[in-house]
Amino acid sequence: MTNIKSIGSRLHFWGLGVFFLTLKTYILYKIGFNIPADNYLQEFILIINPISSAVLLLGLSLFFSGKMRNVMVIVTSAVATIILYLNLVYYRFFSDFITLPVLFQTNNAKNLSSSVLELMAFQDLFLIVDLLILTFLLLKGKIPTVSKKKVEAFAIVGLAFLLFFVNLQIAHKERSELLTRSFDRELLVKNIGMINYHIYDAFIQSQSKTQRVFANGSDMEEVIDYRNQLYKEPDQDLFGIAKDKNIIVLSLESIQSFVINKTLDGEEITPFLNELIKESYYFDNFYHQTAQGKTSDSEFLLANSLFGRDSGSVFFTHSGNSFNALPEILGEDGYHTSVMHANNKSFWNRDVMYQSLGYDSFFDINSYEVNEENSIGWGLKDKDFFEQSIDLLKSQPEPYFTKFITLTNHFPFELGEEDRLINEFDSNSGTLNRYFPTVRYMDDAVEHFFTRMKEEGMYEDSIFILYGDHYGISENHNKAMSMFLNKEEITNFDTIQLQRVPMIVHIPGHDVHEIKNTVSGQIDLKPTVMHLLGIESEYDIQFGSDLFSPERDSFAVLRDGSFITDDYVYTKGVCYSKPYGWETITSNCEPYMDKAQQDLGYSDKIIYGDLLRFY
C-alpha cells in the first residue's frame, strides 16, 4: 500500500498533465476542427484516442529526475500544444491537417505565413490554460521532487503502446483497414489521434524517402530499354484528329460495365450511355487498374500511364516526385488544363498532387454553391455539378483539357426519392440494390451535361472521353451479384471480368462509330489522348499504348498481378480460358506472366525511386 501511495505521489503531476492534454485535444477536435461523430462508438474513439499519445509524449519526462522531471512534463505538454495549434491555424486556411510533404510545399507555406495573424483568434489562449496551471503548481512548490525511476518510465512507455493498440482495435471495428487509408487524414486523426497521426505520417514518408535516396540515374536506363519495346505506332487516320479542340474527360464514379445495355424491371439502367456508345468508339474490354488509391489511382494512371501503389495512395506518398504528366505535356502544347470536382481539395492530397502533375486550375467545392437541397451522400449532386460547371468551362482560355470527377454514384449509394429514375434491385445486398438508382441518376446527369454543352455552343469544338474510375460493387456482394447476372456463383474468373469499366471516346461530327474489343486499361489513356491531339509519345516514359493503334497488344494487367488477354484470364495463380472461364493449364498463361510483372515492377521502380528526375 505504501508503494502504491509513493508511486501515486511521484506520478500525480504527470497524470494531471496527461489529463489536461487529453481534454484539450478532444475540445479542439469538436470546436477547432469540427470533427463529427455519427454514433456513440465514434464519439468514444474521439475521447480516448489522445490518451495513448499523451501518455507516451509526457512519459518521456519520467526519464528525468528531481525538479527536471516536472519541468519536462510542462515542456512536453507545450510541444504537444504547439503541434495542435499549428494544425489548427493550418486547418483554418486549408481545411486540412499538416503532413510532411506539405511542410516542403513552399507555395502553401508562403500563403499561410502571409495570413497567419488573421488566422489567430483570442480564444486560442485556452490552449495554454493547462500549461499555466501546471506552471503555477510547480512554482507554488506543492509538487514533490522525486528521484528518477527507470522502471516507472519504461512501464509508462509500455502502457502508451498498450493503450494505442486497444484504441486501434476499437477503431478497426468502426473502420476496417484504417491504416491503409493514408489519403483520408481526417479519418486517421478521428480514429488514432492527432499526435499518432503525425507519427504515422512520418513513418510513411520516411519509407518513401529511403527508397528514393538509393536510386540513381543508371536505374533509368533499364526502364528506357523496356519502354522502347512497348511503343506502338498510332492510327494515322485518328492521329491529330482532336488537335486544337477542347478535351473533356469524365471520370464516372464507381460505374462498372455490367450495367451497360442492361435493364432492371424493363427499364434501361444507362439509357443515355447506351445511345452515346452508338455514336462513339466504345471499348468493351477496358479494365480499371486501381488498388487502394481508388479514384486517385485512376487519375494517376490517366496522367502518367504509370501504375499506382499496391497499397495506400501514390497521391499521398509520392506527391513530391518529378513527373512527365499529361497536364504538363498539354500545357506545353498550348492547352489550359484543369480539374472540376465538388469535393474538399485536400482529399486524396489533390491540392498538392495536382501541382506536381502540372494542372493549371482546380475547381474544388469552393467553386460551387452547395446546400442541403442540391447535395447528398458525398456532396453536390452530379446534375447540379455539371450545371454549375458550364460557366466555369466558359471562364477558361481555349483550347482546354478539363477533367470532371462525379460524386453521386459513390458508396453507400444514397439518393433522394425525387431523383430515383429506376427501381432498386431486390436482393440480400442493400448496397447492390441502391447501386442501380444512383447509376441511373449519373447517366441522366451526363445526358444533362451533353445537352447543356450543345445549348451553349460548346459541343462541336470538344472531344469527350468517358471512363469508369473503379469498381463500385465489391466481392462482399457476390451472392447478390450472381442473382443479377443470373449465375449460380461468382467465380474468380467472373470477379476479374467485373473489373471492366466503360470507356467511350466521343468525337462530334466524326462519322466512324465502332465497338473496339481490344483488351485494355486505364494505363492506355495517356498515350491515346496524346495521339488524338497529334502529340508524339515515342519518347515518353509510359506503360500503356494508344487504344487505336493497329499494332497494340490486346492485354491488361491489374494492380494485384492478375492479367487479361484475348484468350485467357490469370488470377490468384490460376489460368482461365475465355469466354466461359474454364480452368486451363498454366502454360497457356505463362507467355504473359513476365510482361505483367515487368510492367508493374518497372512502374514501381520509377515511382519509388523518383526516377523521372533523371530523365
* Residues acting as catalytic residues: 295
Residue 414 grid cell? 444514397
Q: Measured between alpha carbons, how far is 613 from 217 in angstroms, rounded to an integer?
A: 8
CB 417 within 8 A of CB 378: no
Cβ neighbours of 124 (radius 10 Å):
14
Q: Measured between alpha carbons, how far is 314 from 311 in angstroms, rounded to an integer?
A: 9
Residue 169 grid cell? 482495435
Task: Output the CA angle 291-355-300, nearest 5 degrees.
Answer: 20
Q: Is the dihedral of CA 482, 485, 488, 490 positive or negative?
A: negative
Cβ neighbours of 322 (radius 10 Å):
14
Q: Measured between alpha carbons, how far is 475 from 481 in angstroms, rounded to an integer?
A: 9
- For the chain, what is the total number of helices (H) and then of strands (E)? 22, 19
From residue 383, alpha-carbon distances to 94, 380, 493, 578 in Å are 27, 8, 36, 39
Task: Output the CA angle 469-400-354, nearest 5 degrees.
Answer: 55
Q: Measured between alpha carbons, how far is 340 from 485 in angstroms, rounded to an integer?
A: 34
Distance linking the first and last C-alpha atoms of the chain: 70
CB 252 within 8 A of CB 449: no
Q: Measured between alpha carbons, how far is 256 from 252 in angstroms, rounded to an integer?
A: 9
